[in-house]
């Protein structure tokens, strides 16, 4: 209980880290629900990795351009990382979505290739950039400990924007996802709504990757949504439960990690994985509980 | 399986329902050509499947599109709906101040069961053409959706998850959704595919009924010659790359069919 009081105290040294974890835990599953419903789970894997490659390239830019490496401030580095993350996320998601709509080739093959090339490229880039390497490895491991006030504000503002847009246009985003053909017959601009949804996913992934790293971003995007799908009866429950599972898992994961001196991100993901297995088993045991996921 | 079209009689005498009031406006302009296809070519990626299709669909008519698998029935339907661009020619619609509204009933099997939507929520999508982005659906539109579900005989299972409904129940919900759009033209793509014989009869009887009583124009894709003979007034028959158009009784007469199958369309 002492640890819990300590974590909840406004003077807690790592308070920004726990706030960020919970924010990402609450927001990521909401866009993750759309990835799951649109059968774009592989995109949920590839996109955070591509986003982190964007971070790696952005952090390598000063070196390539011959700027003074040691003079880089933390704020500049963060701004660079944010620019790289968001640019790569948005370009990748729009490109992959466009190729998927064209319906040619193998979408899984494209996403798998994008994932593995992005991973390898990140490692190559940062192996040659000793200044970026340390921070990037922390990010990769999900070390959510060095979150400044400005990082927290940026994360909160971005995720709030995503939540507001998702809430206001939920009807349209769900409609074009569920029945694109009917949306066209009712003269809905399906391309606009697709692009808006992909922008929201890209924005969320970018900010989540910067805050908690690609592995954890992937975990929060998909596992809460997949878990919630087993126990929800309608769309409202599906979205609220997914968000709640993400937020609560982020908090409990932080508590466990702090108590046992573990890295926060991997603790969160393992916790989410255990919850997913537990829910799956309960649903299997209960009569008539098998779902359609 | 009985189909209920209207609400209880006592309610009918009190006021005309929104669905009936809307349908009455349709009856006033029967017999004009709602859609005209002029030398239309249809296909995918600019590769024509069928060419030189010229025909008209009259308002309040019941037209069936017949043909074998892969003959181009659904492609024709999707081109009329605007889901596919024509390869050649053009489609003209009756001149009105507002564009035609299509009540599209796709095949129920195409919907992903992962969506946790109830039958009511699916039917409610029919109003989205009238409710602007970001706006909440007004209660009058929700009532109208319930009325259409009731008319399609789908109200009793509308609260259940759409994915868990039977094939016939899904079709009723989808027909209700198409009615909710207040359509000029109800377009149905094999609405009885994968549905048992009894439900097939019930669904087609219902479609025929709304055509006759409410004057809603029907364009139906099907394989079922017997059902077409019973319900449709006009037939578009796609056979060996040719498109035949004529009254159902004439085109589906035994002698005419034998002639077509024996010597081909040409």
Highest mean pLDDT among A218-222, B189-193, B197-201: A218-222
Average of per-residue pLDDT values in chain A: 84
Q: Which of A111-125, A224-238, B14-28, B179-193 has the lowest mean pLDDT?
A: B14-28
Closest residue in A to B125 (Cα) is A175
Q: Which is more confidently placed, A170 or A265?
A: A170
Least confident residue range of A3-17, A201-215, B132-146: A3-17
Domain count, chain B: 1
Domain that includes residue B148, residue range: 9-263
CA distance B13 to chain A (A): 33
Q: Say what angle helices A15-37 and A190-212 make with each other, to 10 degrees.
A: 150
Angle in degrees, CA A75, A79, A84, rounded to 5 = 150
Chain A residues with CB-CB distance to B104 below 8 A? 181-182, 185
**Tokens at residue A22, please?**
């919970």
Task: Name which of A95-104, A106-115, B133-142 the model is least confident about.
Answer: A95-104
Please say if the pLDDT value at position A40 is more than 90.
Answer: no
pLDDT tens for each residue of B76-105 = 999 999 999 999 998 988 766 778 899 999
The reply to whether B138 touches chain A by the CB within 8 Å rule is no
Task: Determine, for residues A187 and B163 on separate chains, whether the beta-carbon distance falls below 8 Å.
Answer: no
- B134 assigned to some structural domain: yes
pLDDT at residue B20 in the model: 65
pLDDT for position A264: 85
**B140-179 confidence digits (pLDDT tens):** 999 999 999 998 889 999 999 999 998 889 989 999 999 9
The pLDDT of residue B262? 64
The predicted pLDDT at position B2 comes to 32
The winner for highest mean pLDDT among A181-185, A289-293, B245-249 is: A181-185
Distance of CA B223 to CAs B56, B67, B103, B107, B229, Å?
21, 6, 21, 13, 11
Instruction: Return the pLDDT at A185.
Output: 93
pLDDT for B11 equals 40
Among A147, A123, A160, CA closest to A211: A147
- Residue A287, pLDDT above cutoff 70: no
Query: Quick one: which of A226, A285, A252 has its CA closest to A45?
Result: A226
Contacts of B121 in chain A (CB under 8 A): 234-235
Residue carrying structure tokens 């095949």:
B107
Candidate from A37-46, B126-135, B250-259 with smallest mean pLDDT: B250-259
Banded model confidence at residue B266, pLDDT cuts 50, 70, 90: very low
Q: Is the ipTM of this complex over 0.95?
A: no
- Among candidates B168, B157, B173, B169, which has minimal Cα distance to B195? B168
Do A84 and A135 meet the contact criterion of CB atoms below 8 Å apart? no
Mean pLDDT of B185-194: 85
The mean pLDDT value for B28-56 works out to 84
Does residue B251 contact residue B244 with C-beta atoms inside 8 Å?
yes
* pLDDT given for residue A160 in this prediction: 93
Nearest CA in chain B to A293: B114
Q: State yes or no: pLDDT of A12 exceeds 90.
A: no
When mean pLDDT is compared over A80-89, A227-236, B197-206, the highest value belongs to A227-236
- Cα separation values, A92 from A42, A44, A53, A100, Å: 13, 12, 11, 12
Would the CB atoms of A185 and B104 count as touching at under 8 Å?
A: yes
Direct distance between the N- and C-terminal alpha carbons of chain B, in angstroms, rounded to an integer: 43
Residue A293 has pLDDT above 50, yes or no: no
A204, with CB counted inside 10 A (0-12, 13-18, 19+), is: buried
**At residue B60, does pLDDT exceed 80?**
yes
Q: Smallest CA–CA separation between B156 and chain A, in Å?
A: 18
Please state, in angstroms and as integers, the Cα–Cα distance from residue B93 to each residue in B52, B58, B184, following that order. 18, 11, 11
The verdict on residue B1 lying in a domain is no
CB contact under 8 A, B116 and A181: no
Tell me if B41 sits within 8 A of B87, measured CB to CB: yes
Q: For residue A134, with 0-12 CB atoms within 10 Å meaning exposed, 13-18 middle and 19 or more buried, which class applies?
A: exposed
Q: How far is B133 from chain A (nearest CA, A)?
A: 6
Inter-chain Cβ pairs, chain A and chain B, closer than 8 A: 76
How does DSSP assign chain B, residue by residue? -----S--HHHHHH---HHHHHHHHHHTTTTSEEEEEEEEEEEETTEEEEEEEEEEEETT-EEEEEE-TTSSHHHHHHHHHTSS--SEEEEEE---SS---EEEE--GGGS-TTS--BHHHHHHGGGTTTS-TTPPPPHHHHHHHHHHHHHTT-GGGTTSBGGGS-HHHHHHHHHHHHHHT--SEEEEESTTTT--HHHHHHHHHHHHHHHHHH--EEEEEES-HHHHHHH-SEEEEEETTEEEEEEHHHHTSHHHHHHHHHH---
Residue of B238, B168, B246, B244 whose CA lies nearest to B207 = B168
Residues A76 and A245 sit within 8 Å (Cβ to Cβ): no
Residues of A in contact with B161 (CB under 8 A): 233-234
- CATH class, domain A2-285, is mainly alpha
**Residues B91, B76: contact at Cβ < 8 Å?**
no
Give the highest mean pLDDT range of A64-78, A125-139, B193-207, B220-234.
B220-234
Structural contact between residues A147 and A213, judged by C-beta atoms closer than 8 angstroms: no
Distance from CA of A37 to the nearest CA of B (A): 6
């Amino acid at each position: 209980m002492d640890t819990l009081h300590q974590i909840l105290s406004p003077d807690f040294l790592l308070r920004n880290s726990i706030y960020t974890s919970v924010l990402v835990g609450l927001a990521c599953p909401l866009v993750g629900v759309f990835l799951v419903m649109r059968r774009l789970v592989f995109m949920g894997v590839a996109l955070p990795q591509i986003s982190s490659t964007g971070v790696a390239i952005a952090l390598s830019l000063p070196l390539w351009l011959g700027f003074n490496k040691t003079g880089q401030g933390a704020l500049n580095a963060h701004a660079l990382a944010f620019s790289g993350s968001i640019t790569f996320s948005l370009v990748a998601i729009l490109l992959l979505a466009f190729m998927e709509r064209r319906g040619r080739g193998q979408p899984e093959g494209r996403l798998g290739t994008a994932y593995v090339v992005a991973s390898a490229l990140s490692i190559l880039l940062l192996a040659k950039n000793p200044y970026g390497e340390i921070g990037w490895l922390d990010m990769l491991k999900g070390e959510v400990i060095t979150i400044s006030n400005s990082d927290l504000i940026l994360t909160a503002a971005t995720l709030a924007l995503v939540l507001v847009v998702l809430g206001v246009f939920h009807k349209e985003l769900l409609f074009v996802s569920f029945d694109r053909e009917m949306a066209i017959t009712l003269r809905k601009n399906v391309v606009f709504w697709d692009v808006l949804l992909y922008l929201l996913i890209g924005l969320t992934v970018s900010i989540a990757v910067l805050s908690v790293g690609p592995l954890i971003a992937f975990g929060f995007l998909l596992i809460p949504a997949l878990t919630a799908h087993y126990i929800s009866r309608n769309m409202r429950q599906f979205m609220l439960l997914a968000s709640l599972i993400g937020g609560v898992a982020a908090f409990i994961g932080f508590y466990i990690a702090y108590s046992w001196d573990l890295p926060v991100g991997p603790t969160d993901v393992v916790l989410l994985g255990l919850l997913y297995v537990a829910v799956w088993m309960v649903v299997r045991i209960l009569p008539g509980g098998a779902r359609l996921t | 399986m009985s189909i209920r079209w209207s609400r209880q009689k006592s309610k009918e005498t009190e006021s005309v329902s929104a669905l009936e009031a809307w349908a009455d406006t349709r009856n006033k302009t029967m017999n004009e050509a709602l859609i005209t296809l002029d030398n239309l070519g249809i296909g995918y990626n600019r590769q024509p499947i069928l060419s030189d299709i010229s025909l008209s669909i009259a308002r309040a008519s019941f037209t069936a599109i017949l043909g074998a698998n892969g003959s181009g029935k659904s492609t024709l339907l999707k081109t009329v709906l605007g889901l596919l661009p024509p390869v050649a020619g053009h489609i003209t619609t009756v001149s009105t101040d507002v564009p035609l509204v299509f009540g599209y009933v796709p095949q129920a099997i195409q919907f992903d069961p992962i969506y946790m939507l109830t039958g009511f929520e699916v039917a409610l999508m029919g109003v989205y053409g009238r409710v602007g982005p970001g706006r909440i659906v007004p209660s009058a539109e929700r009532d109208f959706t319930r009325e259409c579900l009731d008319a399609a005989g789908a109200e009793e299972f509308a609260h259940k998850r759409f994915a868990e409904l039977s094939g016939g129940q899904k079709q009723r919900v989808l027909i209700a959704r198409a009615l909710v759009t207040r359509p000029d033209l109800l377009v149905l793509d094999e609405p009885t595919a994968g549905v048992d014989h009894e439900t097939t009869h019930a669904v087609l009887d219902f479609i025929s009924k709304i055509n006759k009583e409410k004057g809603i124009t029907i364009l139906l894709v099907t394989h079922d010659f017997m059902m077409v003979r019973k319900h449709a007034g006009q037939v578009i028959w796609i056979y060996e790359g040719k498109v035949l158009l004529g009254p159902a009784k004439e085109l589906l007469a035994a002698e005419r069919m034998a002639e077509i199958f024996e010597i081909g369309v040409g």
